């Protein structure tokens, strides 16, 4: 089987590659912007192909399957989300539909941000009308719509996932570092529950989508079935690190100031930060919890790791890499 992957050099993509390489009958073609810097794919037995979502390399005409994971989750300008998450997705699907006649299935990684937040009475599910609150969420929803245009040409499956953490991730690293340094920002009075996902469980969800015969255009919400709050997540981190940090409840004003400073710094360095106005907007919502029963009953997806186990593995990996 020949598989093409976008975003394979990143955090989530590299875990998917590692999972797929367990199977001997799979040839992987991974898109990378720079062959000299394959990041987490260095040394892996696969085919690296240089290009991007708007400038594709030559690919085998007999590809069987594709995973589209490449995307932008933080940006200096709102337009950048749409350029990559919407227009880049449209470019990829156009390329695949015209040049890969044997392609059977494309699995697209979206986000729960495309569905929007929940309220205190009802969690999100796949049937809920989307109510995006950030440019990121809207751009991922538009990316979904670009993908679904091709659902009659080959099988298109969409996975919406909540916040993903695990080894190699840098977005949650600052939170781990704060708690490791005995500072515990308590945010429960400012944000609701969230449905999180461990990256190794997400890789298994991709595998199930690959192997199952599914209805083209299907959307699945993938997450741990037990939502948690920021404070609960922070407590798991503290326990995993063996720390007893000091809890600090920062006022919204301070969070806003820190966000503005973070965005200024990002513009100066020309490198986006995870702390931005979009993240602050997401944090203000009632909650980001989802119902995962469709994934359980249709895909057979269940998490293998508890959140505490997943946090412990992540903390240990950070320490092994001297990131903490």
Question: What pLDDT score was predicted for residue 276?
Answer: 75
All structural domains of the chain? 2-165+196-224+289-305 (3.40.50.720)
- Give the pLDDT confidence of 243-262 residue by residue, as tens digits: 999 999 877 777 777 787 77
Confidence class for position 134, pLDDT limits 50, 70, 90:
very high
Let me know: does 166 contact 199? Beta carbons within 8 Å. yes
- Give the pLDDT confidence of 96-124 residue by residue, as tens digits: 999 998 999 999 999 999 999 987 667 88
Question: What pLDDT score was predicted for residue 259?
Answer: 80
Is the pLDDT confidence value at 191 over 80? no
Q: What is the mean pLDDT of the chain?
A: 92
Is the pLDDT confidence value at 189 over 60? no
- Give the pLDDT confidence of 72-96 residue by residue, as tens digits: 998 888 999 999 999 999 999 999 9
Is this model's pTM higher than 0.75 or not? yes
Q: Positive or negative CA dihedral for 88, 94, 99, 102?
A: positive
Question: What pLDDT score was predicted for residue 192?
Answer: 79
* Dihedral over alpha carbons 146, 110, 289, 266 (to 10 degrees): -110
What CA–CA distance (Å, rounded) separates 118 from 131?
9
Let me know: does 156 contact 216? Beta carbons within 8 Å. yes
Could you tell me which residue, 125 or 168, shows the higher pLDDT? Answer: 168
Structure tokens at 164: 């993903």
Structure tokens at 107: 């699995």
Question: What pLDDT score was predicted for residue 273?
Answer: 77
């Amino acid at each position: 089987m020949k598989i093409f992957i976008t975003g394979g050099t990143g955090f989530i993509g590299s875990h998917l590659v590692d999972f797929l390489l367990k199977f001997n009958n799979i040839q992987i073609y991974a898109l990378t912007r720079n062959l000299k810097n394959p990041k987490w794919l260095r040394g892996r037995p696969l085919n690296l192909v240089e290009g991007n979502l708007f400038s594709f390399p030559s690919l085998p005409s007999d590809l069987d399957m594709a995973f589209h994971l490449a995307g932008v989750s933080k940006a200096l300008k709102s337009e950048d989300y749409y350029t990559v998450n919407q227009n880049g997705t449209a470019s990829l699907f156009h390329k695949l539909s015209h040049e890969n006649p044997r392609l059977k299935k494309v699995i697209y990684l979206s986000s729960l941000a495309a569905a929007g937040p929940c309220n205190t009475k009802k969690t999100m599910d796949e049937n809920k009308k989307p109510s995006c609150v950030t440019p990121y969420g809207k751009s991922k929803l538009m990316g979904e719509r670009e993908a679904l245009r091709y659902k009659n040409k080959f099988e298109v499956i969409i996975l919406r996932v909540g916040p993903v953490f695990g080894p190699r991730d840098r977005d949650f690293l600052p939170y781990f570092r704060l708690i490791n340094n005995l500072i515990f920002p308590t945010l429960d009075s400012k944000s609701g529950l969230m449905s999180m996902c461990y990256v190794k469980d997400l890789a298994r969800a991709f595998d199930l989508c690959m192997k199952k015969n599914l209805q083209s255009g299907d959307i699945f919400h993938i997450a741990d079935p037990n939502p948690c709050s920021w404070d609960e997540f922070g407590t798991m981190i503290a326990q995993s690190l063996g720390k007893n940090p000091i809890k600090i409840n920062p006022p919204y004003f301070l969070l806003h100031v820190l966000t503005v400073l973070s965005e200024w710094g990002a513009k100066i360095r020309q490198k986006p930060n995870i702390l931005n106005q979009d993240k602050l907007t997401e944090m203000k919502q009632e909650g980001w919890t989802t119902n995962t029963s469709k994934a359980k009953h249709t895909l057979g997806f269940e998490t293998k790791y508890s959140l505490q186990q997943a946090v412990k593995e992540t903390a240990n990996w950070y320490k092994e890499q001297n990131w903490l």
